[in-house]
Amino acid sequence: AGYVYTSGGAGVAPDWAAAGGGDLYNYLINGGHDIADRNVTPGTLFTVADKDFGADRWWVTRENADVQYNRNDATGESGLTSKYYGLYKKITNSGKFVVVQVVEGVNSIPLRGKTVTFQIKMKASGSKTIRMAVLELQTAGTIDAPPATLVTAFGADTTDPTFGTNVAIITAAASKSVTTSWQSFSVTVTVPTNSKNVMAAFWTDSDFAANDTLSVAEAGLFVTSSVQAWKPRLFPDELLLCQHFGYRWGYENSDTGTGFRMFGYGGTGVYEGQSIRHPVQMHKIPTETINGTWGTTNITGSFSIVDKSLMSATISFQVTSTGSFDLFTNGTDDWIFFDAEIL
């Protein structure tokens, strides 16, 4: 299925529309797996903590240790038109894993009663059966607050996982025969009229052995009954959508430059501060993770993050004695991660 360039009428800019009707807007964020801000060295495998994120917005849980994630360059891949793809690698033990993206409630509610297609391209290190489905947080749940333990049991081989309270598969999950070559897979459902959140999910049907891999790319959730051609957003737009749910601040590398530095002159015991304005309004007031051993001069103890809001936060610290003070990132392990994810 394709799309056509249509006029929106007088005074409205033309745009692409799905052939035969439908909505080409992709309700998934980071479908191309371009962004993995929790990985300080994109392109290198890193171990994803259980119930955490590899690529931004793509939450991962596993049956046992461990799953790694890597963002790979796709420019040499036959069968892809995206710049990157994501690779999930099972390590240490054989086991199953589940990957989910929750669509924010403000965007899920308009999908009620509509036919949607979740599509994704996949390949694996060998022939695998991968299950994919559209899930919902049912009406008894609280919007944008699915259970933290989204998967309560992984089940035996060929048995679907058990999902948490008020989380259900819409209609049915579908088995997909994934090979070592890129193929497009999809599942089409009608969203119940009282769903709170819609979720796109895929999982291993049976145990992956250590070192088995699953690669994914070009994921989308569209209001249509047919698979759509891959049409990514502009990268800065995609980045801001990801940062609505979380971002790394102060990180120092060849791309971001020297990170952060604040210096000045203060009195003994005086508290100083620096406001951090989030790049975009966040989904909720974020929690923060402070990493590394930051450089300091004439500062008592460590700094803290205070006055957090949807739009900003403040670095706060106390000056030890009257004189010059200095706070700065001291290498590539010094950063703050602001997390406002749904899961």
Cα 90 from Cα 93, distance rounded (Å):
7
User: For 115-143, b where at least 16 C-beta lie within 10 A, e where not — what string?
Assistant: ebbbbbbbbbbeebebbbbbbbbbeebeb
What is the per-residue pLDDT for 334? 87
Judge contact between 110 and 186, C-beta under 8 A: no
Judge contact between 133 and 176, C-beta under 8 A: no
Judge contact between 33 and 58, C-beta under 8 A: yes
What is the per-residue pLDDT for 330? 78
What is the per-residue pLDDT for 40? 76
Residue with tokens 């620096």: 274
Q: Which amino acid is at 170?
A: I
What is the per-residue pLDDT for 258? 55
Judge contact between 120 and 185, C-beta under 8 A: yes
List the structure tokens of 308.
């957090």
Q: Counting every residue, how long is the chain?
A: 343
DSSP-based helix, strand, coil % in the chain, nearest 5: 5, 45, 50
What is the per-residue pLDDT for 252? 62
List the structure tokens of 270.
């005086």
Residue with tokens 């799953």: 67
What is the per-residue pLDDT for 16? 46
3-class secondary-structure state, position 143: coil
What is the per-residue pLDDT for 24? 84
Give how far the C-alpha of residue 283 lies from the chain's centroid of Cα atoms, to the nearest Å: 13
Among 297, 296, 250, 342, residue whose Cα is nearest residue 40: 250
What is the per-residue pLDDT for 293? 85
What is the per-residue pLDDT for 329? 86
Q: Flag residues of the chain having pLDDT under 70.
A: 1-23, 252-258
Among 81, 86, 106, residue whose Cα is nearest residue 38: 86
What is the per-residue pLDDT for 4? 54
